[in-house]
Amino acid sequence: MNEIDPSRQTPFGMDFSVAEFADNPEPRCPCMLLLDNSWSMNGAPIAELNEGLAVFKEELLADSLAAKRVEIAIVSFGPVQVVNSFQTAEHFTPPRLTAQKDTPMGLAITQGIELLDQRKALYREQGIPFFRPWVFLITDGTPTDDWKTAALEVRKGEESRAFAFFAVGVEGANLDILQQISIRQPLRLRGLRFRELFQWLSNSMRSVSRSVPGTEVPLKNPTGPEGWATV
Amino acid sequence: MTETGDWRYVYASVPGVAHLAGGIDCQDACAIRLVAEPERGPVLMLVAADGAGSAARSGIGAELACRTFLMECAARVLDSTAPEWARGDAEALLDSVRTALLRRAAEENRPVREFACTLLGAVVAADRALLLQIGDGAIVIDAGEHYRPVFWPQTGEYANETRFVTDSDAIARMESAVLTEPVTDIALLSDGLQPLALHYRSQQAHTPFFQPLFQHLREHPEPGRLEGLMPALARFLASPAINQRTHDDKTLVLATRRPVPPPEAEAEVEPPESARPATPSGALKPDIDTLPEPAATEPLEAPRPVAPVAPEPDTGLATAQPTAADGSLGADSGADAAHRPHSVNSDLPDRDRDGDEAV
């Protein structure tokens, strides 16, 4: 058979390249952040959290694929507010959260899940493939509203594989309740390592957003000696 | 009709940039075989398989799946007592592919999921066709002026999930079709090409992708396997223009028996100049605009391991044969991966519960 001789073969090869490509949107990897901005977060915690969000965007942008695929939304609670609706990392503007009032975590969770459902409906309508969404909750307190309904919804969502739910407690958080909400073991943030937390989150999102069928998504253990969390 | 049935065909599998970067072999495989069946005329058999991303032996699984499919097809097709084709035939074909993978796994003393792959298969006779699919990728055939996917890719709910030949319910989940119309153009493509060749929203084939490719085949003077075009197809699949749009392995199998173009077109025996200016607006141009006409320079990017194309006659599988694909990848052990080898995200919570990871 003929060897690959570019000068001979290229004319044929070029003809194949007349093919025109379909223009499909990139598959999306939604990430819903539920962030506690109750008064107790005042001072260094909220400042570090804001810093972490900026890092999150920065790190995602460093990966051209993740920049186009990872979509971020933020619901803050204290009070509940949709701070960012879903946007790709490219277009995401990290907010400056301020510490305000109480900790309506239950409502934040149900509202976050609702936003996620709407987003998924839109993906389906538009024929956009997507990865399993992550819901990532960060709090330093105890819910001040009905959290049991929310816990039920989290359980339902996990069972139907509608999303993966993660909970992180900053110092002062009620881990007992987080444990009842999240199927996965809630993690305790080490000090105020928000920066490391968001680096880890962006790395995880990068892995998920480029995974193909049959791939293991490598997740770094955040509770290692250098990690940002303890159990 | 000649003994080739006027079929012109090419096929190639090339590794994606993600696999090249990771030093992983191509996990796609594909092949075509043309069998002269005395009573019914020539029968064309086409197959493509996409090995599961991180399954250690999936490249080998894909190749074995293709080989087995062609062998079994030939046995069935040559059995002239066989009645009309039916779903049962497709099920039998898939079953023999599954059996071959299970046997191989047992021989190597490995779990069968390490050989996981998808399967696209087609048997095309003069006036009928049998088509089957398990997993993603697509079989696209002519439909008047357009092209249509026979089945829509079987992705799971999420982008990184699909079905595999090795799934326990693969036979039930397999899609199949028996067409009683003559198929004149047929393409098989792996999921690496899906975003370029299919419209996700309308769930249609992107006709401008296929038309020029088939046209190029038709312009070839001789029917049969187009040896001269095989490396060209592999280079096309490995070109930067495609790699910018997809990082996965890519397989494309093309066959046409549509009559050759009318005489005036035939007169020009493939002068490259004639085809190139015909690039429609919006079409993909050679990625370097300054490309000299006869392309004295290699227009493609840095050297890459293009899959060995057509190493042997007829059943030559177009795949980069992984000889030692295990080890580097073999770490994905654990019972959690066993029950859902394909659902990536779903593995996470399971493993978490197992306590391997805290999150």
Cβ-Cβ contacts under 8 Å between A and B: the total is: 226
CB distance B285–A17 less than 8 Å? yes
Do the Cβ atoms of A129 and B200 come within 8 Å? yes
pLDDT interval class at B345 (50, 70, 90): very low
Which of A148-157, A166-175, B15-24, B92-101 has the weakest average pLDDT?
A: B15-24
Q: For residue B109, which phi and psi values (nearest 5 degrees)?
A: 55, 45
Domain spans in chain B, listed from the N-terminal domain onward: 8-354
Residue with tokens 């995401």: A92
* C-alpha span between B308 and B330 (Å, rounded): 25
Torsion sign over Cα A4, B248, B45, B167:
positive
Q: What is the mean pLDDT of residues B261-284?
A: 43
Q: Is A120 on the interface with B (CB under 8 A)?
A: no
Q: How many CB atoms neighbour CB A102 within 10 A? A: 16
**Dist. CA B22–CA A207, nearest whole Å:** 14
On whether any CB of chain B is under 8 Å from the CB of A17, the answer is: yes
For A72, the enclosing helix (H) or strand (E) is: strand A70-77
Residue of A nearest to B235 (CA): A13
Q: How far apart are CA B318 and CA B230, in angstroms?
A: 10
Q: Are A27 and A33 in contact (CB under 8 A)?
A: no
Query: Measured between CB atoms, does A122 come within 8 Å of chain B?
Result: no
Please name the amino acid found at residue B238: A
Which pLDDT belongs to residue B81? Answer: 64
Of B164, B229, B357, the CB nearest to A221: B357
Query: Is the peptide bond between B259 and the residue preceding it cis, with omega within 30 degrees of 0?
Result: no
What is the CATH architecture of B8-354?
4-Layer Sandwich (3.60)
Interchain proximity A212–B202, CB inside 8 Å: no
Could you tell me the pTM of the whole model? 0.78
Which of chain A's residues have a Cβ under 8 Å away from the Cβ of B357? 219, 221
Q: Does A175 touch chain B (CB under 8 A)?
A: no
> Quick one: closest CA in A to B118, which residue?
A213
Set of chain A residues whose Cβ sits within 8 Å of the Cβ of B256: none
Where do runs of H (alpha helix) occur along A1-43?
6-16
ipTM of the modeled complex: 0.81
Partner residue opposite A21 with nearest CB, options B245, B337, B344: B245
By C-alpha distance, the chain B residue nearest A200 is B359
Structural contact between residues B187 and B253, judged by C-beta atoms closer than 8 angstroms:
yes
Contact B270, B219 (CB under 8 A): yes
- Contact of A10 with chain B, judged by CB distance below 8 Å, is answered with yes
Taking the C-alpha atoms of residue B30 and residue B155, their distance in angstroms, rounded to an integer, is 20
- Assign B356 a pLDDT band (cuts: 50, 70, 90): very low
What is the Cα gyration radius of chain B?
20
Q: Which burial class, exposed, middle or buried, applies to B245 when counting CB atoms under 10 A from its CB (0-12, 13-18, 19+)? A: middle
Looking at the partner chain, which of A15, A210, A212 has a beta carbon nearest the beta carbon of B275? A15
For B123-136, what is each residue's pLDDT tens digit? 999 889 999 999 99
